[in-house]
Structure 1
């Protein structure tokens, strides 16, 4: 597909889909590990159960997936996971068949939709029924005065659960703590997603030509993701030419011109729901970069490599940030929003703020641990400049430091 000498095939339009290397046992072991991680967090927090609405959290705990993006904004399915008891999925109308053979699930019940979309003017009535249903299940398996963690829910529903005598605690942080340490089997699933993502990156590279729009180029990443069993892409962060500065503009109908910079950030949710978060930059037409483009790229690459070299288990967030690469003053204003962030079934905890004012206002300490997956970020673009470079590398924290999970090559001849 590619090599480290940047010798790319001239055309990938006839490429056959990649073969999925993950066997069924690896998948089963990964999801059993994840459920155990959730239960360990519940026991440590003295919680009888956790109520999950975030579809990514539901996926992590139960390995079930159903209309993931739609259910991000519709309270149409949820799960109740007990620390010492059943795993109960409350599923959308007539969707029980989606989860045949999933050994993690002890029960599948119909969900009660408390969103305005589903309940309309009867929303308060439906919420009363929902709260009574949850309280009865909690009474059955944990007793009436149990502590229940909740990742997110309707405010009226939370008040009703308290009226039933349940003690509620914030649960999203428990899930983030559970998700941060990956098993070997999880990493196998993630590596497959990254391989799919890199096929999409390669396809974009091969299809990139002057005269095409940013949206046309971005569509190739979606194409390769979907045909390999991937799920969605969380953003559309691809920009060219003057739209690369400042960063965070999503792909548009802008027609790209020969020699312009094009940068992207994949934010791809691939097979098994895992995230591949990789950024690269090229010139349109794959022509030699200008001196300014080369300088921006070299600085961004230097920031990535410097910060990767620092990462190791046992290093505190604070120490890492204080030792991180110093962004030159002309590029400081347009810095990326964080130095590194976690990744798993999506972007995850932690997200480490830059040193100085950013750390003072929003930094938090913690410890980098073995088998965390982090994404090392860089954006280099001068305030008021006409172009910029966005790079990112996804890495695994190992006993000896960090290991790049993405093997997609840098533009070595630009360095």
Structure 2
């Protein structure tokens, strides 16, 4: 059990007036006690109380939880885990519950009178996970360094006739060759005006010389995620294309420049959005500026006009402005940053200046 992380969660619960919480997200359980299994339809939970040792509820089918630092309450497929939980909760106090707690468990817990009330308390864990410790920051750097290398590989795959799907399908093998274990999300590979769809799914469209190319990709390495977007030209860009690219690049740099403790997420979003609005494409920047990231690619706490909290050292999030002009073109430039004591560290080193890729003909 990581006592420092556990203390952070308990402090967050106390601020919300809670003395107990049931955590069911497998990654949050791993983050707290080092035990991980994918439960699928079976019940898995960690009960955290104001003091004492947490209790892990785990099916006997799962791998052994010995050494995780929690009391283990085991059960079989024919036993009721809800009754086990209800025996250990304080029925006179409200119970904080995880946003991932399925109704098939929550409703029986309510019917069993396991607590005086049920409160959504995921933010107690989400907030604690938001602040990356020194080891987590190193792992985030390593994942992004791998992603930088993968982006160089991606750029080399662009050739006449290759399809979006072929490049996307080949990326996982390259990630694994570089030491990562998996994608952190499904890769986005967009040729031509497909880049005007921010979440385009790679299809069988072949690359044709002159197409713009957008890659939005990320890997998972040693549990932690990376995420980066680069947009390339494959022919000399027109004045219009240069202007769009320049606006996005300046927006990316303007936002990164102001990141430091005390600046709000909304102010960071505004720094980028104002550049694109002043360039005349404000309505074409259709999404928030970014999202937090760590054990999963999109963690709670976005970088948007609706998020007025100040950023804190150790938080990691994306800066990804974009301009999307359907039927014409799309540009997005994305980096990850970690907030430091007096600014931020940009994790991505792959160049983001306007680049024209060369393509040998068949």
Q: Normalised by the size of structure 1, how large is the TM-score?
A: 0.75
CA separation in 2, counterparts of 1:222 and 1:83? Answer: 43
Aligned match for 2:57, one of 90, 96, 113: 90
Matched, 1:313 2:261: yes
- CA-CA distance at 1:52 after TM superposition: 2.1
- CA-CA distance at 1:323 after TM superposition: 4.3
After superposition, where does 1:59-74 map in structure 2 within 5 Å?
59-67=30-38, 71=40, 74=41
Aligned to 1:12: none
Paired residues, what number? 349
After superposition, where does 1:147-166 map in structure 2 within 5 Å?
147-151=94-98, 152-162=100-110, 163-166=112-115
After superposition, where does 1:241-320 map in structure 2 within 5 Å?
241-268=192-219, 270-283=220-233, 286-320=234-268
CA separation in 2, counterparts of 1:165 and 1:309? Answer: 49
- CA-CA distance at 1:107 after TM superposition: 3.7
CA separation in 2, counterparts of 1:148 and 1:304? Answer: 42
Aligned to 2:155: 205
Contact 2:338 2:347 in 1 (8 A): yes
Aligned to 1:43: 14
Contact 1:203 1:220 in 2 (8 A): no
Contact 2:96 2:121 in 1 (8 A): yes
Aligned match for 2:314, one of 343, 350, 371: 371
RMSD: 2.8
Deviations 1:241-288 (A, max 9, x none): 1211132111112111122111122243x12321212111123xx554
Aligned to 2:330: 388
Deviations 1:303-328 (A, max 9, x none): 10011112111123444444444223
CA separation in 1, counterparts of 2:8 and 2:147? Answer: 27
- CA-CA distance at 1:399 after TM superposition: 2.1
Structure 2 unaligned blocks of 5 or more: 357-362
CA separation in 1, counterparts of 2:175 and 2:7? Answer: 29
Aligned to 1:234: 185
- CA-CA distance at 1:236 after TM superposition: 3.2
| SS of match in other structure, 2:321 | strand
Inter-CA distance 262–413: structure 2 relative to 1 (3 Å threshold): closer
- CA-CA distance at 1:75 after TM superposition: 5.0
Contact 1:196 1:224 in 2 (8 A): no
Contact 1:76 1:111 in 2 (8 A): no
| SS of match in other structure, 1:260 | coil
Inter-CA distance 352–233: structure 2 relative to 1 (3 Å threshold): closer
| SS of match in other structure, 1:381 | strand
Contact 1:310 1:324 in 2 (8 A): no
Structure 1 unaligned blocks of 5 or more: 1-27, 114-124, 354-358
- CA-CA distance at 1:229 after TM superposition: 4.2
Aligned match for 1:334, one of 284, 288, 292: 284
- CA-CA distance at 1:375 after TM superposition: 0.8
Q: Normalised by the size of structure 2, how large is the TM-score?
A: 0.85
CA separation in 1, counterparts of 2:88 and 2:75? Answer: 13
Deviations 1:74-95 (A, max 9, x none): 4553333334232333345533
Matched, 1:349 2:300: yes
Aligned to 2:359: none
- CA-CA distance at 1:388 after TM superposition: 0.7
